Chain A
Amino acid sequence: MSAPANSISEQAGGAVLARGGESAASLHRILILIMIVALIALPWFVYPVFLMKVLCFALFACAFNLLLGYGGLLSFGHAAYFGGASYVAAHAAKVWGLTPELAILTGTAAAAAMGTVFGALAIRRQGIYFAMITLALAQMIYFFSLQAPFTGGEDGIQSVPRNPLFGVIDMRDDINLYFFVAAIFLGGFLLIYRIIHSPFGQVLKAIRDNEARAISLGYRVNQYKLAVFVLSATLAGVAGATKSMVFQLASLTDVHWTMSGEVVLMTLVGGMGTIFGPIAGAIVIVSMQNYLAQLGAWVTVVQGVIFVACVLLFREGIVGVLSRRLRLPL
């Protein structure tokens, strides 16, 4: 695993460290400001629905990166929380008639509950077994979604209504919906940023880099692992629930293992364990899917090739390389 990050470099005094601490924080503040400006400006230049798709996947990838990049845990079943939450939110909006914010909260709560149970099971094994267990548990959710009465089987839950936000703001207008989605994304991103830089986040990195040492220092490693797993699953749920509001659809695609693979790919392409990497990865992969959509199964092949190429030649990812070249902690 690449182990850049602040915990080591800030103490050791490397190149990155010279700018660490305070200046890193102000750099991040500037980048986040730029991001906010971009979020406000972009819908006037780019198709808002495409942007919303990117934002949903970017939040999903950021949530996944919290677990993999900072917790060192490779979950191969994050589609369960993303897709599970999108089903619950779609059901809440369509059948119960809840407003979008409440529907998303309902979906998120479902993802959090699932994350708690599955996380508690999966952290009983390490490494490769952890990946296989999360994958198997997610496949169970897939079969459940295929058979359960409320998910609509192969059709999914279609034409989910865009109810008015807080009961007043019209969500059928793409721009209104866009700013709602952008606010959710920004909130989720800032929360993850805060988690990474909190004392809790520092302990996570310590566990990732040397679990035995963290145990010997008296940290209850399993509680930290479970906590980060639940946080990651919950935020993945926020992303999935929001996506079902945007596309007015919850379908089997979102719970399938290919979706779990896609979020791994986004994180890998962008740079594991970097703050902005997953966003870059989501932009690249979603754009690629858009441009190659008419090529059918070739999209799968291209994704596979990117996977192989990244693992063999480009393990740091886009932002990881940038961060090293520019000697800035991104």
Chain B
Amino acid sequence: MFELLGVPPQALFGQLLLGLINGSFYAMLSLGLAIIFGLLNIINFTHGAQYMMGAFVAWMMLNYLGIGYWPALLLAPILVGLTGVVIERLLISRLYNLDHLYGLLLTFGLALIIQGLFRNEFGSSGLPYQIPQSLQGGYNLGFMFLPMYRGWVVVFSLIVCIATWLIIEKTRLGAYLRAATENPALVGAFGINVPRLVTITYGVGVGLAALAGVLAAPIYSVNPNMGADLIIVVFAVVVIGGMGSILGAIVTGFGLGLIEGLTKVFYPEAAATVIFIIMIIVLLIKPAGLFGRTA
């Protein structure tokens, strides 16, 4: 067996794949955060809890209703997205003319409520979620073994990210969205229902988080705390990438996942902190973020 940089290739590529998977979650979550921030001007602290809800809804569908992975992949994000719509209408919409920081505090409180409720109901230990029949097994690529499900997660999230980017950049709805981000009053004057656009945007952003949660369910165990620590890493990703650009969020997410995977191979002690260290370096060199616009 040959070695690459003193590391067996199985380990190297295995960690790189895991890095890519984490990267796809970072990308989907920071994408949702960026879309929500663009229009609502709040940082959605509930994002991690909503990612966790996606995984739990898929788990509950399977265990209580017998609904499998494929329908859940569609239904869970829609359901969680709808709860997002309710939250936006009932609570967040009351804060738009206040300081942005209140939005952060409100969504932080919501995250505590959601996580606490799930912890009461399901405890803190993880619940298993089976990989669907059609994605079990894997391929031997010669230099590594590729589990089919993991390959699917990377490819599918890449497709979702690119589709979201295309919708925002190339469609009429996306044009409304971008216009409303720049100047909501003017867009409203053209007869577009901006408050509804805001609600839909929040719902879609939340749905993206839930979709990532469903994808994560078979890889990581379904656990009430699964989103809490992840969201902080995603915040660092957002600071590194800057929230000005959708494509930037995607590239930064995948890139940082890869770097984290590499760190796990070569210097495992730093794997948990490497993204924060990169954040510090970016703040020193380019405070606005790699793809950010200067405020």
Contacts and interface: CB of A to CB of B under 8 A. Distances in A.
Interface of A: 1, 74, 76, 121, 124-129, 131-133, 135-137, 139-140, 143-144, 146-147, 257, 261, 264, 268, 296-301, 303-308, 310-312, 315
Interface in B217-254: 228-229, 232-233, 235-236, 238-239
Contact of B120 (A1, A298, A310): A298
B155 interface: no
Nearest to B37: A128
B232 A139 contact: yes
Nearest to A307: B109
Contacts of A264: 105, 108
A140 B272 CA distance: 8
A312 B106 contact: yes
Given A133-B279, A304-B113, A128 B100 contact: yes
20 contacts: A1-B101, A74-B101, A76-B108, A121-B283, A124-B283, A125-B239, A126-B295, A132-B238, A133-B283, A136-B232, A139-B233, A297-B120, A301-B113, A304-B111, A306-B109, A307-B106, A308-B106, A311-B105, A312-B94, A312-B95
Contacts of A312: 91, 94-95, 106
Contact of B235 (A136, A146, A300): A136
Given A131-B101, A147-B269, A136 B279 contact: yes
Given A121-B284, A128-B100, A300 B115 contact: yes
A131 B104 contact: yes
Contacts of B117: 301
A197 B287 CA distance: 33
Interface residues of B, number: 45
Given A1-B99, A132-B239, A139-B232, A304 B106 contact: no
A135 B232 contact: yes
B167 to A, nearest CB: 25
Given A126-B295, A132-B239, 16 more contacts: A76-B104, A76-B108, A125-B239, A129-B239, A136-B232, A136-B236, A143-B273, A297-B119, A297-B120, A300-B113, A303-B112, A303-B116, A304-B109, A307-B112, A308-B106, A315-B98
Contacts of B108: 76, 261, 264, 307
Q: Is the interface of B mostly helix, strand, loop or mixed?
A: helix
B273 A140 contact: yes
Contact of B110 (A1, A125, A308): A308
Contacts of A261: 108, 112
Contacts of B233: 136, 139
Interface in B80-101: 91, 94-95, 98-101
A139 B272 CA distance: 10
A315 B235 contact: no
Q: Is the interface of A mostly helix, strand, loop or mixed?
A: helix
A148 to B, nearest CB: 10
A200 B259 CA distance: 44
B287 A125 contact: yes
Contact of B43 (A1, A128, A307, A315): A128
Contacts of A310: 105, 109
Contacts of A305: 109, 113
Contact of B276 (A137, A299, A307, A311): A137
Contacts of B232: 135-136, 139, 257
Contacts of B99: 1
A222 to B, nearest CB: 12
Interface string B207-224: 000000000000000000
B145 interface: no
Contacts of A311: 95, 102, 105-106, 109
Contacts of A301: 112-113, 116-117, 120
A152 to B, nearest CB: 17
B131 interface: no
Contact of A144 (B101, B114, B236, B273): B273
B105 A268 contact: yes
Contacts of B120: 296-298, 301
Contacts of A139: 229, 232-233, 236, 276
Nearest to B33: A132
A133 B121 CA distance: 32
Given A126-B295, A140-B273, A301-B120, A133 B239 contact: yes
Contacts of A131: 43, 101, 104
Contacts of B238: 132
Contacts of A140: 273, 276-277
Nearest to B41: A128
